[in-house]
């Protein structure tokens, strides 16, 4: 196996991971109506997860190097979960979002 074949395989795996990650983020945004700042945080975590630049590199530390990746993903997941819960609480109390127009019927809750 040539070195260029190895790099091609790595790039294909990273590209597939990025596409799958973006599909999951798109579904979660659609299903739970996550605000744009949640999208930015999720895409940032996905880019950090896929990028070869890390605070704790896996090449040097082995499996221990995955700790920073897991930490970033966990922090973003908890933050987005809190965003969704706050939105549901506000909608449950009758407060509409910025995109609602006066006289418009609020959307029915999906969950």
User: Mean pLDDT for each 10-residue chunk of the chain (111 residues)?
Assistant: 79 85 82 82 86 78 82 91 86 70 57 53
User: What pLDDT does 105 receive?
Assistant: 57
Task: Tell me which H or E stretch contains 10.
Answer: helix 3-32
**pTM of the predicted model as reported, rounded to 2 decimal places:** 0.62
User: What pLDDT does 47 receive?
Assistant: 85
């Amino acid at each position: 196996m040539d070195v260029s074949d190895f790099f091609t395989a790595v790039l294909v795996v990273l590209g597939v991971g990025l596409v799958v990650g973006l599909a999951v983020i798109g579904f979660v945004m659609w299903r739970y109506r996550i605000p744009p700042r949640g999208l930015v945080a999720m895409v940032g975590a996905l880019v950090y997860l896929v990028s070869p630049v890390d605070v704790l590199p896996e090449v040097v530390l082995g499996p221990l190097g995955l700790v920073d990746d897991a930490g970033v993903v966990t922090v973003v997941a908890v933050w987005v979960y809190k965003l969704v819960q706050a939105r549901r609480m506000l909608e449950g109390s009758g407060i509409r979002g910025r995109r609602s127009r006066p006289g418009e019927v609020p959307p029915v809750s999906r969950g």
